[in-house]
Amino acid sequence: MFSEWNPASAFDNAVEWTEPRSGQKLRVVEDHTRSILSENRNPDLDFRWSLNPYRGCFHGCAYCYARPTHEYLGFGAGTDFERRLVVKPRAPELLREVFLRRSWVGEVVVFSGNTDCYQPLELKWKLTRRCLQVCREFDNPVGLITHSALVARDADVLADLDARVTFSMPLWDPVVARKLEPGVPPPRRRLEALAELAAHGVPVGINIAPCIPGLTEQDVPTILREARAAGAQWAHFMPLWLPPKTAEVFARRLAEHLPNKGRSIVQRHVRRRGQLVEVARERSRPSRGPEWPAAKRLFAIQAERLGYEPPPERGPTPFRRPTKQVSLFPGPPTPRSR
């Protein structure tokens, strides 16, 4: 049974609420922001620009590092993050305006740098698809990270782009995954979507992240084997990182749904990272003890044996501006042969 709960927000005293925080109904708010690209300065990330058509995420992953960002909007990092969602209806138009600027040189735009661009809201709003269509108009390269099988719907657009799609898959057991990723399609359904994109010629890979101690390590060989058979070309492996508020949600979810393993998982994470809660500057801090190096070695051995390679390198950007004026409200784009 879904029940409402949010960690105490650091912004509670600064927010004047116009309605009580009660009920469980999905609430969607429109954000009429004037900008759409976020510039990332985190040295752990290998991209500069990201695009997030939605804020908050119906997927509800207990470990999601983006939960604290919902408090900037006056919402909570718990169930508010999962049920009080924000959409940016002008995202495609704003992206086109960026691409028309002379200062834009065609750098990679990564979708889902924060929350998943293929969460269920995308079925109705289609903001991700429309933004991808804008990228296709300008031949702007794209990177995409998702938990969702819905990405396969856009295989036709992605196949026309210099695109790289990575599927997040930290767990293999569908029962366990359902408890920690309640709104995410089962692992096998994600692999079906991966296979469909691969069949369309879209480069695809997987991200076994976050590695949840006591749960993920045992799934690594199976995930790597099944994903490779489905067409994955590369694989990444990253440790669990729990910023403030996410740690509270994660511990609570474990206690509710995995009580027999929950305490052990938390203890192993604390041994590995030195503490339960970490701030952004500590994300790249080396893990302690032998467990994480052993897990990385297992991953590396299995990935090499199965033939995984790094993501294909990108050549010079294919970005180009149309020679004629582009309407801000065009009709459906016509696919181009490449």
How do residues 96-106 score in pLDDT, each as one tens digit?
999 999 999 99
DSSP of 24-74, one letter per residue?
A: ---EEEE---S--EEE---TT-S-SEEE-SEES-TT--TT-TTGGGGGGGT
How do residues 113-141 score in pLDDT, each as one tens digit?
789 999 999 999 999 999 999 999 999 99
β-bridge mates for residue 324, sequence order: none
- Is 210's pLDDT higher than 50? yes
Cis peptide leading into residue 210 (ω within 30°): yes
In the predicted model, what is the mean pLDDT of residues 153-168? 98
Q: Would you say residue 318 lies in a domain?
A: no
CA pair distance 57, 79, nearest whole angstrom: 10
Find the radius of gyration of the CA atoms of the chain: 20
Say what the pLDDT of residue 47 is: 76
CA pair distance 50, 140, nearest whole angstrom: 13
Say what the pLDDT of residue 16 is: 32
18 falls in which pLDDT band (50, 70, 90)? very low
For residue 282, what are the contacts with CB-CB under 8 A and spacing of at least 6?
Answer: none
Q: What percent of the chain has pLDDT over 70?
A: 87
CATH code of 145's domain = 3.20.20.70
DSSP secondary structure code for residue 182 in this structure: T
Say if strands 27-30 and 54-55 run parallel, antiparallel, or are unpaired. Answer: unpaired
CA pair distance 287, 78, nearest whole angstrom: 27
* Enclosing domain of residue 272: 27-306
Q: How many domains does the chain have?
A: 1
CA distances from 167 to 23, 147, 164 (A): 32, 6, 10
Q: 3-class SS at 210?
A: strand
- CA 92, 144, 232, 148 torsion-angle sign: negative
Q: Would you say residue 229 lies in a domain?
A: yes
**pTM to 2 decimal places:** 0.87
22 falls in which pLDDT band (50, 70, 90)? very low
Q: Would you say residue 5 lies in a domain?
A: no
